[in-house]
Structure 1
């Protein structure tokens, strides 16, 4: 019982903190362009074009460097599916314990890249709260059925 309630409290707290502290940045630039976002220096390192089995890919490589000089590499991509003639965006997500970083590639106009970079705090704690709440529910269900 306590486990489920603690899990629900953790979910509520984490969602509130996420809503208050999340941020995003519109990135527009060429290869080599750097911008500051929260505590990160965001640099567009490379743009590649490749072909999959049934699609073409545009891949942008972003390096996010924090104050400690740790680098997170995000590689979002656009995919053009040949048969369906449809375009889809594939985000890239990197999860840390206290926050998630993710990038979505919007458009590539010649050598100009348009993307969004997102900072989402407390995501791991939201998932932990869900697991604790579900565990509390199943423990209570098992105890009720065994009595």
Structure 2
């Protein structure tokens, strides 16, 4: 083999080649690290996308359940209103007492109307409390007492 003499130019060229190879190795290693980081980030992104998809499916399921429950409550409310109206027409009402629902008979309003008529039409002036009390008692008992023509 023939040897080339080691001149300063040749030494400078060798030094430049070694620096070039070192920089290639350095940047190659950096490139590998960057690629590995990108792959890891891509895997994390894929996992996050999968989790988002799961959560969206769960949200849709929850919304459907909530809609069904709300519809059931609306139907129950409407049925309760219909029942209340039906009981009211029959002279009864629904009441919740001690956690139980009871049907209560509505008392007749006729005595109240008769007492109201007495209070609105009969004069109080020049009447004793006893007379006025008698008129109210008669109205409550259902007997219509007409004041006598000469009585005050």
**TM tier relative to shorter chain:** under 0.3
Higher relative contact order (CA 8 A, sep 6+): 1
Q: Which has the higher helix share?
A: 2
Q: Which has the higher strand share?
A: 1
Structure 2 length-normalised TM: 0.23
Larger Rg over CA atoms = 2
Structure 1 length-normalised TM: 0.24
